[in-house]
Amino acid sequence: MEPILLIHGYSSEGKENTVEEIYGTLPNDLRDMFGDDAVVELNLSRWISLNDGISLDDVSFAMERALQTEYAELLQSGFHVVIHSTGALVVRNWISLFSPKPSPIKNLIHLAGANFGSGLAHIGRGQLARWGRLIFGDTGRGMKVLNELEFGAWKTLNMHLEFLLPGNDMYDDFKVQEFCMNGSQTLSYLRPIPIRYVKEDSADNTVRTSACNLNFNYIQVTPSENAFSLTLEQLDTIVEQRQENWIIEENYYDYDLSHLSQTRRTVPFAVIYETAHFGSDIGIVSGRDNRQAVLPLIKSALTTPYDVDAYQQRVEQFNLAHTETFERAKVLDPSLFEWNKQSQYEGHAQLIFRLTDQFGNGVENFDVTFKTSEFKNRQPRLEKMIEDQHGNRRDKGTITFYLRTQKFLKGSKRWRELMNSIADVDIEVTGYEPLSGDISYLPLNIHLTGKQLRRIIQSFRTTIIDIELVRLPSENVFNIKRMVQD
């Protein structure tokens, strides 16, 4: 059995916390399973003060330096990693920047990994200062790390997308087997806090289930050749039609659907019953009451040999654990003094739009509109499923929507997948340049049938739609005239 490296997340530690306060019984549990020498505690927060000048790259580089100077034997013999929260970004970034192929990391277990961000990263400096001690403990803020944890952060998106490139596959090329698990419970004492991200449904009071899951969908939208040959008169007509709320019939954009999750190897994923992000009772790392649900999956993941069939068996095992969670959640008793317990488990999806122009610059001013023109009675509509939207503050051109994709039916005690009967939708994307009347963007209209929507958006998953929106200048921006001699 290779050594196990434990890496916790952003602000898990606090200034005076002991290893036991950070990890609870997890180190001893692992030693009981695999032996006293199995665990190496690499506590990233003890290297950094979480001051505002430290970035994700700094932490990943610090990890590389520590491995090279203090734990070089791990790089030779290989090791397993168990991460919590932001540790997912640290390790994936380390693999991207420093790891050879194959990687010395064998099995990588994500406990509530913040792979696609956390709402707490952008709740605002004032709110963070007011509630930070209760949520994070006695630590600094680490604004650069928080920027990279914000929904739709380009650096984080690009890091994940790198692993979709040929020759860069996490499983086939780095030979790292990943496993994801997340809770869907909020600690009771956090519910009075007036911040939606500590009490969202389908989240563990810090990380959404869909943000943890690495089985994400990626769609690339690029202009077709005829988009750049449009005359200004044609473009003006199209823009005017869009402003008049017309559906643009002609398609000037192409779609690459080759990176949907069903085209890739499935990463084992499960939502764990009655589990939160932290806490001594139901925290995913340090909780007492949920060890019977968490530890068997960790042990199973750590003992998985590098083998396609064995890995697929873990997918099925995690699926069974996921199903068991929702079977148990069906019969939770209601309470007049608590939230709706089944709603807490209703599946959600993240939908991230990133808009750039043909030069790679973010489109700073844009609208994304969902329109369902025809639907049957009680047929779910995508625009009605949106519960939150967030435009990234630093990386302009990015917006993240949070959609409730499941509903618990109390009478029949079953979970209804809203996407199964979703109505067709038109997604209209419009950019504009408020500082110049000589710049226009070519609008985009994406018409998706219910069948197509089910391929693109699923419960407990994130979908990234990268759009290259055509930006065209008028003839006033640059004009060449032939000089004619008398």
Identify the H or E element spanning 255: strand 253-259
Q: Are strands 348-356 and 269-272 parallel, antiparallel or unpaired?
A: unpaired
Instruction: For residues 283 and 388, state if they share a domain.
Output: no
Residues 282-303 pLDDT 10s: 999 989 999 999 999 999 999 9
Q: What is the mean pLDDT of residues 381-399?
A: 95
Instruction: For residues 206 and 246, state if they share a domain.
Output: no
Q: What is the mean pLDDT of residues 16-39?
A: 82
Residues 205-217 pLDDT 10s: 999 999 999 999 9
Q: What's the pTM?
A: 0.93
Instruction: For residues 39 and 50, state if they share a domain.
Output: yes
Q: Are strands 39-41 and 4-7 parallel, antiparallel or unpaired?
A: parallel
Beta-ladder partners of 416: 407
**Which pair of structure tokens corresponds to residue 247?**
């559906």
Identify the domain boundary among 330, 354, 375.
330
**Which pair of structure tokens corresponds to residue 330?**
């069906």
Return the SS3 of 373: coil
Instruction: For residues 294 and 240, state if they share a domain.
Output: no
Q: Are strands 425-431 and 366-371 parallel, antiparallel or unpaired?
A: antiparallel
Q: What is the mean pLDDT of residues 433-437?
A: 90
Instruction: For residues 254 and 294, state if they share a domain.
Output: no
Instruction: For residues 469 and 403, state if they share a domain.
Output: yes
**Which pair of structure tokens corresponds to residue 103?**
């990687």
Residues 333-350 pLDDT 10s: 877 666 678 999 999 999
Q: Which residue has the higher pLDDT, 142 or 466?
A: 466
State yes or no: pLDDT of 361 exceeds 50: yes
pLDDT at 15 (0 to 100): 47
State yes or no: pLDDT of 49 exceeds 50: no
State yes or no: pLDDT of 45 exceeds 60: no
3-state secondary structure 100-114: CCCCCEEEEEEECCC
Instruction: For residues 244 and 156, state if they share a domain.
Output: no
Instruction: For residues 238 and 273, state if they share a domain.
Output: no
The mean pLDDT of the chain is 89
Lowest mean pLDDT among 14-23, 78-87, 351-360, 369-378: 14-23
**Which pair of structure tokens corresponds to residue 233?**
């008169």
Place of tokens 């650096």: 155
Q: Is residue 321 part of a domain?
A: yes
**DSSP class per residue in 259-317:** ESGGGSPPPPEEEETT-BSS-TTTBTTT-STTHHHHHHHHHHHHT--S-HHHHHHHHHH
Q: Is residue 338 part of a domain?
A: no
CB atoms within 10 A of CB 171: 16
State yes or no: pLDDT of 391 exceeds 80: yes
State yes or no: pLDDT of 4 exceeds 70: yes
Q: Which residue has the higher pLDDT, 96 or 51?
A: 96
pLDDT at 47 (0 to 100): 43
Lowest mean pLDDT among 10-19, 380-389, 444-453, 468-477: 10-19
Nearest partner of 43 among 26, 35, 52, judged by Cα: 26
Residues 6 or more apart whose Cβ sits within 8 Å of residue 179: 107, 108, 109, 110, 267, 268, 269, 297, 301, 304, 314, 318
Instruction: For residues 311 and 402, state if they share a domain.
Output: no
pLDDT at 144 (0 to 100): 80
What share of the chain in percent tops pLDDT 70? Answer: 90
Q: Are strands 471-473 and 253-259 parallel, antiparallel or unpaired?
A: unpaired
Q: Say how far residue 452 (Cα) sits from the centre of its chain.
A: 21
Q: Which CATH number is 118's domain given?
A: 3.40.50.1820
Range of the domain at 425: 217-261+346-473
Q: Is residue 111 part of a domain?
A: yes
Identify the domain boundary among 300, 330, 360.
330
Q: Is residue 10 part of a domain?
A: yes
Q: Determine whether 11 is exposed, middle or buried from the number of CB atoms within 10 Å of its CB (0-12, 13-18, 19+).
A: buried
**DSSP class per residue in 411-438:** TTTEEEEGGGGPPPEEEEEEE--TT-TT
Q: For residues 335 and 147, what is the distance between their CA atoms, to the nearest angstrom?
A: 38
Q: For residues 54 and 146, what is the distance between their CA atoms, to the nearest angstrom?
A: 10
With cut-offs at 50, 70 and 90, classify the pLDDT of residue 13: very low
CB 300 within 8 A of CB 290: no
pLDDT at 172 (0 to 100): 98
**Which pair of structure tokens corresponds to residue 368?**
């994304």
What share of the chain in percent tops pLDDT 90? Answer: 65
**Which pair of structure tokens corresponds to residue 40?**
């190496």
CB 129 within 8 A of CB 139: no
pLDDT at 367 (0 to 100): 95
State yes or no: pLDDT of 24 exceeds 50: yes
Q: Are strands 462-468 and 425-431 parallel, antiparallel or unpaired?
A: unpaired
User: Identity (one letter) of the amino acid at 105?
Assistant: I
State yes or no: pLDDT of 244 exceeds 80: no
**DSSP class per residue in 162-184:** HTTSTT--TTTTS--EEEEEEE-
Instruction: For residues 35 and 150, state if they share a domain.
Output: yes
Q: Determine whether 480 is exposed, middle or buried from the number of CB atoms within 10 Å of its CB (0-12, 13-18, 19+).
A: exposed
Instruction: For residues 254 and 268, state if they share a domain.
Output: no
Q: Is residue 164 part of a domain?
A: yes
Number of domains in the chain: 2
Identify the domain boundary among 296, 330, 364.
330
Instruction: For residues 241 and 190, state if they share a domain.
Output: no
State yes or no: pLDDT of 276 exceeds 50: yes
